[in-house]
A and B are shown apart, each in its own frame.
Chain A
Amino acid sequence: MHAIETVGLTKRYRTIRALESLNIEVREGEIFGFLGPNGAGKSTTIRLLLGFLHPTAGQARVLGLDIVKDSVAIRRRLGYLPGGIALYDTLSGKQQLDYLTALNDRPPIRRAELCERLELSAGTLERRVRDYSRGMRQKIGIAQALQHDPDLAILDEPSEGLDPLMQRAFYGILETLKEAGRTIFFSSHVLSEVERVCDRVAIIRRGRLVAVEDIAGLLARRRRNVVMRFDGPPPRLDGVGGVSNIEARDGRLTCGIDGDIGPFLAAISDSRVTDLTIEPAHLEEVFLELYGGGGEADAV
Chain B
Amino acid sequence: MNGALFGHTWRSQRIRLGLISLALLVWGGLLPFIYATFGSRFKSLLESGLMPAQFARFGGGDVFTLTGTVALSLIHPVPMILISVFAVGFSSYAIAGERQQGTLEVVLARPLDRRTFYVTLLLASFGFVAIAIAMLLGGTIIGSSLAGVLAELPLQRMPLVWLNGVLLFGAFATIGLAASSSFDRAAPALGWTLGIVIVMYVLEVLGSFWPDAAFLQPYSLFHYLRPKAVLTGAAEASDFALLAIVIVVAMVWAIAVFPRRDLAAPI
A140 smallest CB distance to B (angstroms): 10
Contact with B along A70-107 (1 / 0, CB 8 A): 01110110111011111110100000000110111100
User: Which bracket fits the contact residues of B?
Assistant: 20 to 34
Which candidate, A45-53, A113-121, A211-219, is the interface stretch facing chain B?
A45-53
Interface residues of B in 1-29 (CB under 8 A from A): 2-5, 7-8, 12
A55 smallest CB distance to B (angstroms): 10
A interface size (C-beta, 8 A):
32
Are B111 and A47 touching (Cβ within 8 A)? no
Nearest B-chain residue to A148, judged by Cβ:
B110
Contact with A along B248-267 (1 / 0, CB 8 A): 00000000000010111110
Instruction: Give which listed residue, A54, A76, A99, contacts B8 with CB less than 8 A.
Output: A99
A6 at interface by CB-CB < 8 Å: no
**Bound Cα distance A298, B103 (Å):** 29
Are B110 and A100 touching (Cβ within 8 A)? yes
B101 at interface by CB-CB < 8 Å: yes
Are A47 and B263 touching (Cβ within 8 A)? yes
**Bound Cα distance A88, B98 (Å):** 9
Enumerate chain B residues within 8 angstroms of A47, measured Cβ to Cβ.
105, 263-265
Are B106 and A86 touching (Cβ within 8 A)? yes
**Bound Cα distance A33, B105 (Å):** 22
Contact with B along A36-63 (1 / 0, CB 8 A): 0000000110010011111000000000
Beyond A47-B263, A50-B109, A72-B111, is A84–B102 a contact (Cβ under 8 Å)? yes
Are B262 and A53 touching (Cβ within 8 A)? yes
B47 at interface by CB-CB < 8 Å: no
Are B106 and A76 touching (Cβ within 8 A)? no
**Bound Cα distance A143, B91 (Å):** 30
Are A72 and B102 touching (Cβ within 8 A)? no
B113 at interface by CB-CB < 8 Å: yes
**Bound Cα distance A78, B111 (Å):** 9
Are B109 and A72 touching (Cβ within 8 A)? no
Are B105 and A103 touching (Cβ within 8 A)? no
Interface residues of A in 6-50 (CB under 8 A from B): 13, 43-44, 47, 50
Nearest B-chain residue to A88, judged by Cβ:
B103
Are A85 and B110 touching (Cβ within 8 A)? no
Beyond A87-B103, A90-B12, A99-B8, is A54–B113 a contact (Cβ under 8 Å)? no
**Bound Cα distance A75, B105 (Å):** 12
Are B103 and A99 touching (Cβ within 8 A)? no
Most central of A83, A99, A103 by chain B CB within 10 Å? A103
**Bound Cα distance A79, B260 (Å):** 23
**Bound Cα distance A103, B9 (Å):** 13
B107 at interface by CB-CB < 8 Å: yes
B263 smallest CB distance to A (angstroms): 4
B112 at interface by CB-CB < 8 Å: yes
Enumerate chain A residues within 8 angstroms of B265, measured Cβ to Cβ.
43, 47, 83
Enumerate chain B residues within 8 angstroms of A43, measured Cβ to Cβ.
265
Enumerate chain B residues within 8 angstroms of A51, measured Cβ to Cβ.
108
Contact with A along B97-138 (1 / 0, CB 8 A): 000011101111111110000000000000000000000000
Beyond A86-B101, A90-B12, A103-B2, is A75–B109 a contact (Cβ under 8 Å)? yes
A147 at interface by CB-CB < 8 Å: no
Enumerate chain B residues within 8 angstroms of A53, measured Cβ to Cβ.
262-264
Enumerate chain B residues within 8 angstroms of A78, measured Cβ to Cβ.
109
A37 smallest CB distance to B (angstroms): 15
Contact with A along B195-235 (1 / 0, CB 8 A): 00000000000000000000000000000000000000000
A144 at interface by CB-CB < 8 Å: yes
Are B111 and A104 touching (Cβ within 8 A)? yes
Enumerate chain A residues within 8 angstroms of B3, measured Cβ to Cβ.
102
Nearest A-chain residue to B266, judged by Cβ:
A86
B54 smallest CB distance to A (angstroms): 46
Enumerate chain B residues within 8 angstroms of A73, measured Cβ to Cβ.
111
Enumerate chain B residues within 8 angstroms of A80, measured Cβ to Cβ.
105-106, 109
Are B262 and A52 touching (Cβ within 8 A)? yes
Nearest A-chain residue to B103, judged by Cβ:
A86
**Bound Cα distance A80, B102 (Å):** 13
Beyond A47-B263, A54-B260, is A103–B102 a contact (Cβ under 8 Å)? no
Q: List 10 A-B contacts (CB under 8 A).
A: A43-B265, A52-B105, A53-B263, A82-B106, A85-B106, A86-B102, A86-B266, A102-B7, A104-B110, A144-B106
Q: Which 4 A-B pairs have the closest CB atoms?
A: A86-B102, A102-B4, A103-B110, A80-B109
Other 19 A-B pairs with CB < 8 A, given A86-B266, A103-B4: A47-B265, A50-B105, A51-B108, A52-B263, A75-B109, A75-B110, A75-B111, A76-B111, A78-B109, A80-B109, A82-B102, A82-B109, A84-B102, A86-B102, A86-B106, A88-B103, A102-B3, A103-B5, A103-B111
